[in-house]
Every structure is written in C-alpha cells, then in structure tokens.
Amino acid sequence: MYTSSPLFLLVSGRNIEYMPMHHLIDPARLAVEISYTLVVVFLCFMIYFKTREIYDLTKHEGIQYFRITFSFFGLAYLLRFLSILFIPMGVTFDSHLLTHIFRIFPMVFSGYFSTMAILSLTYSTIWKKLQIKHTLLTFNAVSVLISVIAFITRSPSLLILSQAVLLSFTIIMATYTDSRSRKISPLFILYILFFLFWMANLFTLDPRRFLPIEIQILFRIVSIAVVGIIYYKVAKWTK
C-alpha cells in the first residue's frame, strides 16, 4: 500500500512526474503554514466570539452576517491547511478513496466555507439596500454549487475562478449600492485585500505553482496584517 510513498520514491530515486519534489512536506514550509494558519484562525474566531454579546443584544442582521463571515473564514483557513498537509498523502495511498478523503475533501469544504464567508461579508454591508429572500439558503446553494465544481474538477483553479467572479460581483454591488458616496471607504479596500489574499492562498495550493519561501513569508505577513487590522477594529468596539 505504501510502495509509492514520497519518501520511498525519493530514496529509490524514481521520477515522480505527478508530484513535484518541492511540494513534499518541507519543514520550513510546514512551519510557515502552521504559524500562519494558527494566527489567522485565532483572529477569525476571536472576531466571532468578541461580537457575540453585541449580536445577542441587538440581533442586528448586519452583525449576524459579519460574524458568519469570520467563523466560516476561520474554518476555511483550517481546511486549507489540512489540504496542504494532505496533498503529499494523495500520492502516498494507492486507493482512490483515501486520495479523495485526504486530498479532495478538505479543498471542497474549504471552498464551501470560503464562498459562504465571501457572500456573508458582502451581504453584511448591503443588506439594508438589498433584501434577499431566504438569504442563508441562497448562500448555501451557491456555496455548495461552487464546492461541487471544485470536487468535479479536483483543482483549486476553478474554485479561484468562481470566487473571482463572486468578488467582481461583490465590487460591482458595493459600488452600485454606495454610488452616492464618491470616495472609496478604507474598509472596502481592507475587505478586497482580505478576499484577494484568500484567493492567492488558494492559488498556491496547486503544487505546480511554487513560490520561494521568502515571498511566501512576506505574503503571509501582509495577509496577517490585514486580518489583524480588522481584529483591532473589532476589539476597539467590543471591550
């Protein structure tokens, strides 16, 4: 069962055409990923828990979707990490079922959670101007559809493409609903950056798209800074 394990193939010197060498578990990359995931997931869940009291007191729809956003983003980042961890296991097991479980499922669920998060964050800012009936049901249907696409294609590429379309829609909607205000809000820029970093994260999930470790670290630091600013803004009002 383990005859095609990366370690075995490395030792035996056989050529692994479908799995580039750099994407086998590299300790430096793993350390960067663990630290990055821990910080982002911690910040996302802290945002969720810190806003619990003001949501309980108000039952405000905007706050509700804001909270959903960060709980789902936390889960999406966690599953993205599992996806990275399990990609080498895809070649470790000969069984298709195990390959699916370890490689495809985390990516599919990550796609579902992140799509839910993107939709919720968009809706939290436009819900007063644009009322959607059965909001959560609609968002779930769109998210399931996108994650099914990811499952069928077994590649993050279509997930990125779907979410890019969604992001363009978000920008158009936010601009359309806020057409009276001429200046671009700093929060809007922050949200766009947050989405873009998420999609860049999905982009680097593909083993063929290798980035040097220095660029990855820099990228992660800026990404953490964006989530950190959002957390700081939340903490300021939820003492």
Where along the sequence are the contacts to another protein (CB under 8 A)? 51, 53-54, 57-60, 62-63, 66, 124-125, 185, 187, 233-234, 236-239
Decide: 16 and 59 in contact? Cβ < 8 Å: no
Q: Write down the least CB distance from residue 229 to another protein, Å.
A: 11
Residue whose CB is less far from another protein, 175 or 185? 185
- Angstrom distance (rounded) from CA 149 to CA 167: 17
Nearer to another protein, 19 or 54 (CB): 54
Largest CA distance in the chain: 66
Locate 135 and state its tokens: 């909001």
Those residues whose C-beta lies under 8 Å from the C-beta of residue 152, and which sit 6 or more positions away, are none
- Least Å from the CB of residue 120 to another protein: 12
Our CB check for another protein shows the closer of 53 and 94 to be 53
Least distance in angstroms from the C-beta of 104 to another protein: 35
64 vs 147, beta carbon nearer another protein: 64
CB of 62 to another protein, least distance (A): 3
Minimum CB–partner distance for residue 70 and another protein (Å): 11
Shortest reach from residue 155's CB to another protein, in Å: 34
**Nearest CB to another protein, comparing residues 71 and 110:** 71
Closest to another protein by CB, 8 vs 169, is: 169
DSSP string of the chain? --TT-HHHHHHHT---TTS-GGGS--HHHHHHHHHHHHHHHHHHHHHHHHTHHHHHHH--HHHHHHHHHHHHHHHHHHHHHHHHHHHHHHHH---HHHHIIIIIHHHHHHHHHHHHHHHHHHHHHHTTT---TTHHHHHHHHHHHHHHHHHHHTSHHHHHHHHHHHHHHHHHHHHHHTTT--SPPHHHHHHHHHHHHHHHHHHTTSTT----HHHHHHHHHHHHHHHHHHHHHHHHH--
Q: Which residue's CB is nearer to another protein, number 63 or number 101?
A: 63
Least CB distance from residue 198 to another protein, whole Å?
18
